[in-house]
Amino acid sequence: MIAEKRTSPDTQEANLALAVNHLQFSYSAGFSLWPGCAKGFHAIRDVSLTLKPGETLGLVGESGCGKSTLASLLCGDRIPTSGEITLFGRRFKSLMKPNRRGLAKHLQVVSQDTMGALDPRRSVGHQMVETLAIHGIGYPASRLDRAAETFKAVSLPVSALQKFPHQLSGGQRQRVAIARALIVEPQILLCDEPVSALDVSVQAQVLNLLLELQRARGLSLLFISHDVRVVRHVSHCVAIMEAGRIVEAGPTERVFSRPAHPYTAKLLSAVPHGRRSGPRPAAAMLETL
């Protein structure tokens, strides 16, 4: 009898875009998230997640559950109290040395706060070229051309390179943020509430764009949102977060069709059903745009 070939843990992690193992994070005793918050607050409690190459993992939970803190750990803004993160089998700590540029070439963040993410004093074209210069990508004479090609990929006119952030609409600024993330050719996009600040119709356009870019470039997406309907539409797998813990995870349709945890059922029960007044949710519009 031929023995079944077994895959070692390291090999398994090498086949994953992202692996989070028993991650924990506590805010220090001198830090308070809000008035009255207990000192040494445990924001992330034994979190483990996996994201496969080319797929989307949706992370869902109510405000204050720890989603944004987890995002800050995954992009290197905070250091975990304990646990380990790997990207395509490479230890997170090694990607952070001697600076964060090694990490940034693998993982880029698209957040909801485009005005905060973009420098209001410089044209968006200047910021695109500056990103390439910081990472030592391309030659000075070719960087503007590369920025123009990336703008085309996100359906922005090349003329927008000359504009300042305040001269663009919210949807255009989000496309600029996506373009700036893509220009370094990362393998993973961490999308932290990327459409929550946009009008519903614009949300659908940006979500469609992300899905198109994922198919074209083989991107892996970690999609963080409180909107169950959007996450259900865009994600292959989903993880439900409550009070700093992952309480349920698995294939999206299985989790949302047959929730095993009371908190998941609670989130689903809060989603409006049937006819509703006002604009359709972005998830419903995705199929028609």
The one-digit pLDDT tens for each residue of the chain (289 residues) are: 333 333 444 556 668 999 999 999 998 744 445 444 555 678 999 999 999 999 999 999 998 899 999 999 999 889 999 999 999 998 888 887 766 777 888 999 998 888 888 999 999 999 999 999 998 898 999 999 999 999 999 999 999 999 999 999 999 999 999 999 999 999 999 999 988 878 888 899 999 999 999 999 999 999 999 999 999 999 999 999 999 999 999 999 999 999 999 999 999 998 876 444 344 455 554 554 3
Alpha helices, DSSP H, located in the chain:
9-14, 67-74, 92-95, 101-104, 114-117, 124-134, 140-153, 170-182, 200-217, 228-234, 252-257, 262-269, 282-286
pLDDT of residue 12: 62
Helix axes 170-182, 200-217, angle to 10 degrees: 20
Amino acid present at 172: Q
User: How far lies 6's CA from each of 10, 11, 12, 235, in Å?
Assistant: 12, 10, 10, 29
Q: Provide the residue ranges of all domains of the chain, joining segments of one domain with +.
A: 114-185
pLDDT of residue 3: 35
Question: Residue 7 in contact with residue 63, Cβ under 8 Å?
Answer: no
User: How far lies 165's CA from each of 15, 50, 128, 138, 154, in Å?
Assistant: 38, 35, 12, 25, 16
CA distance 43 to 70: 8
- Token couple for 193: 């509430």
- Token couple for 194: 């990327």
Characterize the bridge pairing of strands 56-60 and 220-225. Answer: parallel
Nearest in space to 235 (alpha carbons), one of 63, 49, 83, 13: 49
pLDDT of residue 40: 63
pLDDT of residue 282: 56
- Within a 13 Å sphere around the CA of 121, how many CA atoms are in the beta-carbon half? 0
User: How far lies 169's CA from each of 13, 162, 199, 263, in Å?
Assistant: 40, 14, 11, 37
- Token couple for 169: 């609409």
pLDDT of residue 2: 34
